[in-house]
Structure 1
Amino acid sequence: MRILHFISSPAAGGAETYVRDLSILMRRKGHDVHIVFLQTAAESGRDPEFEKDFLSSLASASISYSFIGKEARRKPWLGGLRLRRFVRAFNADVVHCHLYYALLFSFFVFGVPVIYTHHNIRLGLPRIFYKIFDIKVSAYVAICAACKELLGSRRRSVLQINNAVSKSRILLKQKKSTNTNSEVTCVFVGSLCAQKNLTMMLRAFGLAHSSNVRLLVVGEGPDRGLLKELASSLGIDHRVEFLGNRSNINEILAESEIFLMSSAWEGLPIALIEATLAGLPVIVTNVGGCAEVVHQCANGFVVDSLEAGDYASALSKMVGDAELRASFSRNGLAFASVYEIERSVGRHLELYEEVISDGFSRV
């Protein structure tokens, strides 16, 4: 098959990493893959060095790519015309959209089935738009049970295919001393933005009163300055390190003991899956598909509220019990195979073949 994916930009986001992993394995299975990006890292205000590495990994896998351009956000007809040109040039058998801008542009594409994956627990647009999208979309993909419920009943089928990660990128967590006085390294990986609710995490970290704990914050985003100021005002800046974007996340996870996520809303975070496959015990808030991972893998705590005190209690318990952490780690390694990329790729390829062979809506 000739598969065209459409995502936002070659940046350090979960959806982008997931689509890259999907595309690389699809290519290894003999399919031709082209990725269309809405905009460049520079146009997104993201890290150009990360973009360089991202595009290099695609080129190494013989995956072609192209860019629509940021101006298409204001001129959707321009985006539609450019997407139609890319689809024709690539001679795509299926177009897989991973953001709603792509769906809008897909109305300019004819004779090719369109798949849409929703990557968040928030729709991003009023529901009336999704009734319009039903006209064009051959099938919807939900990345977790919570997202499937969000999409609700549609004219087209909604198939749950869990987010997944290429295990080849994962390094297993290193075994650390069980001495109660040993330093415990916690890590967060993701965008420094309101969605990730890092202000609550930092406040919880301050409330935990554990002098032998440090926190590594990996990622970029608009809240970096605010968060550094908050860490200083809480008196924990000597225990919190902001690392920015890093290309060696697998090594950072392997050297850490606890993965933290305090999101206010989510889909099914790729960083959480990476940490789970690496064997890290986790603490997550009960949003989107985060709890689904913990319930599947029995590898950590789910905090049902967004209160710093509740999160701090879970953190203190995890930090203070090395045997509990070891048990959670073993569970994650034993039960996380459902989140490996091979399974996800297989289900996607079956879906593509189905919509191609069964016919599809032409608008």
Structure 2
Amino acid sequence: MKVLHLITGAETGGSRKHVITLLEQFGREEAVLAVMHEGPFAEEARANGIRTEVFAQSSRYDLSILNKLVQFIRSENFTILHTHGPRANLFGIYLKKKTGICWVTTVHSDPALDFVKSGIKGKVFTALSMYAVKKMDGYFAVSERFKQNLMNLGIDGRKIQTVYNGIHFTDEKAAPVPRRELGVEEADFVLAMVARLHPIKGHTVVFEAMKAIDEAERPHLLLVGDGPIKAELEKETARLGLDSHVHFLGFRSDVDQIYAAADLALLASYSESFPLALLEAANQRVPIVTTDVGGVKELVEDGSTGWVVPVKDAAAYAEALRQAIRRQEEGQLQEMGEILYQYASSRYSLEQLEEATRAQYERLLRKQK
């Protein structure tokens, strides 16, 4: 078995973390990473011992790399192509046709929502992406709920394997970034939200929830990530009068240390599969407020290890934040984080990720013989 993982290489969010942590579990000759951009993703993969090949595009519409990929697959005798993301999935159609390779994907987001707010071009790309997703030989769903979503698209459930995301859980918390370096004080109630600045991530719902909380107890929000709507979000915080409470930190490589400096972790997405960011928060013993997406209810027990609220419901989100603040005042929030850590570390390990992924690969190869 030899697997080629194909992804654009421009990702900065959970899919990037997922791919790198997954490939670290396989040997250099078993799994190879192919990206379409040289940059931080490729550098991080190499630093983690992953063989990484760059098939550079002059633009996202440059299709000249397709024949190079075909030649690479044939010359290296890959048996499985594992694509990640809409562009890689589209390219997979051609690569499958030319090589006959066994083709699988991990769907990291709802393909129907990948190109929201992108106009007519977005509608075209969405249609192409939905077409590609239905052409694979096998699928990885990172929660049972997301497996059902794929089946609702008409995909045969027998082709889908639920494989929970995993991370390396540590025995101790990370050393927190000093709060003053992040623009907050020791006495502040601090929220950390690690997410691309993209419409689907629901940042504005969090802003509205914060606005609904009395200014005297209003929390501070650390936003980790970058993306296409940064300027739009900055304008929204100004409009709501939240400038002094929302801190745009950009892309950071010290996410663990930022979570360790926070009191609460947030997810407000309209759609997700199973966010790695929540596992990273759990590893730092930080309770979570999350929207009810993907497999989050398989991790967060409402009222015990965090709060699960309806999607796009700013009022419910604000109430969850108020409850978290009360728990902090009563000295109970830290205990919630410890319970979350114990549960997550026993269920979402890298070992289970590797074993389940390898088993699906082998099952599909046997089926093709």
- TM-score bracket for the superposition, by shorter chain length: 0.7 to 0.9
Provide the secondary structure at the position in 2 that maps to 1:115. Answer: strand
Which residue of 2 is the match for residue 199 of structure 1?
204
Which residue of 1 is the match for residue 123 of structure 2?
none
Q: Structure 2: how far apart are the matches of 1:131 and 1:317?
A: 40
Which residue of 1 is the match for residue 190 of structure 2?
185
Q: Structure 1: how far apart are the matches of 2:303 and 2:26?
A: 26
Runs of 5+ in structure 2 lacking a partner?
113-125, 177-185
* Structure 1 position 315, deviation (Å): 0.6
Q: Structure 2: how far apart are the matches of 1:280 and 1:163?
A: 18
Which residue of 1 is the match for residue 78 of structure 2?
92
Which residue of 2 is the match for residue 4 of structure 1?
4
* Structure 1 position 164, deviation (Å): 2.0
Note closer, same or farther for the CA distance 1:67–1:318 as it changes in structure 2 (3 Å cut). Answer: same
Note closer, same or farther for the CA distance 1:261–1:128 as it changes in structure 2 (3 Å cut). Answer: closer
Q: Structure 1: how far apart are the matches of 2:53 and 2:133?
A: 29
Does the 8 Å contact 1:83/1:105 carry over to 2? no
Which residue of 2 is the match for residue 139 of structure 1?
138
* Structure 1 position 59, deviation (Å): 2.0
Q: Structure 2: how far apart are the matches of 1:162 and 1:297?
A: 23
Which residue of 2 is the match for residue 353 of structure 1?
362
Residue 50 (structure 2) aligned to one of 63, 75, 90:
63
Show the 5 A alignment for 1:275-354.
275-295=281-301, 298-322=304-328, 323-337=331-345, 338-354=347-363
Q: Structure 1: how far apart are the matches of 2:302 and 2:344?
A: 8
Provide the secondary structure at the position in 2 that maps to 1:140. Answer: strand
* Structure 1 position 305, deviation (Å): 4.2
Runs of 5+ in structure 1 lacking a partner?
42-50, 175-180
Provide the secondary structure at the position in 2 that maps to 1:301. Answer: strand
1:118 aligns to 2:107 (yes or no): yes
* Structure 1 position 23, deviation (Å): 0.5
Provide the secondary structure at the position in 2 that maps to 1:238. Answer: coil
Note closer, same or farther for the CA distance 1:125–1:339 as it changes in structure 2 (3 Å cut). Answer: farther
Q: Structure 2: how far apart are the matches of 1:11 and 1:169?
A: 29
User: Given residue 65 of structure 1, which amino acid in structure 2 is its aligned partner?
Assistant: T
Note closer, same or farther for the CA distance 1:86–1:299 as it changes in structure 2 (3 Å cut). Answer: farther
- TM-score of the superposition, structure 2-length normalised? 0.82
User: Given residue 334 of structure 1, which amino acid in structure 2 is its aligned partner?
Assistant: Q
CA-to-aligned-CA distance 1:170-200 (integer Å, 9 cap, x gap): 84587xxxxxx93211110010110111111
Provide the secondary structure at the position in 2 that maps to 1:321. Answer: helix
* Structure 1 position 209, deviation (Å): 1.9
Provide the secondary structure at the position in 2 that maps to 1:26. Answer: coil
Task: State the number of aligned residues.
Answer: 338
Note closer, same or farther for the CA distance 1:244–1:170 as it changes in structure 2 (3 Å cut). Answer: farther
Does the 8 Å contact 1:173/1:279 carry over to 2? no
Note closer, same or farther for the CA distance 1:321–1:198 as it changes in structure 2 (3 Å cut). Answer: same
* Structure 1 position 168, deviation (Å): 5.7
Q: Structure 2: how far apart are the matches of 1:125 and 1:292?
A: 31
Does the 8 Å contact 1:2/1:32 carry over to 2? yes
- TM-score of the superposition, structure 1-length normalised? 0.83
* Structure 1 position 237, deviation (Å): 1.2
Does the 8 Å contact 2:301/2:307 carry over to 1? no
Q: Structure 2: how far apart are the matches of 1:17 and 1:131?
A: 21
Q: Structure 1: how far apart are the matches of 2:228 and 2:25?
A: 33
Residue 167 (structure 2) aligned to one of 161, 165, 168:
165
CA-to-aligned-CA distance 1:90-112 (integer Å, 9 cap, x gap): 32232211232243233244253
Q: Structure 2: how far apart are the matches of 1:11 and 1:132?
A: 23
Q: Structure 2: how far apart are the matches of 1:56 and 1:290?
A: 30
CA-to-aligned-CA distance 1:208-257 (integer Å, 9 cap, x gap): 12535211011101221121222222222112111000111111011111
Note closer, same or farther for the CA distance 1:67–1:56 as it changes in structure 2 (3 Å cut). Answer: closer
* Structure 1 position 146, deviation (Å): 2.1
Q: Which moved more, 1:223-232 or 1:54-63?
A: 54-63
Does the 8 Å contact 1:84/1:108 carry over to 2? no
Provide the secondary structure at the position in 2 that maps to 1:229. Answer: helix
Note closer, same or farther for the CA distance 1:127–1:251 as it changes in structure 2 (3 Å cut). Answer: closer
* Structure 1 position 19, deviation (Å): 0.5
Q: Structure 2: how far apart are the matches of 1:249 and 1:12?
A: 12
User: Given residue 166 of structure 1, which amino acid in structure 2 is its aligned partner?
Assistant: H
CA-to-aligned-CA distance 1:122-180 (integer Å, 9 cap, x gap): 444479726860xxx33211111222011115355211111222336984587xxxxxx
CA-to-aligned-CA distance 1:277-297 (integer Å, 9 cap, x gap): 221100011122233321499
Which residue of 2 is the match for residue 270 of structure 1?
276
Does the 8 Å contact 2:293/2:311 carry over to 1? no
Does the 8 Å contact 2:93/2:132 carry over to 1? no
1:34 aligns to 2:28 (yes or no): no
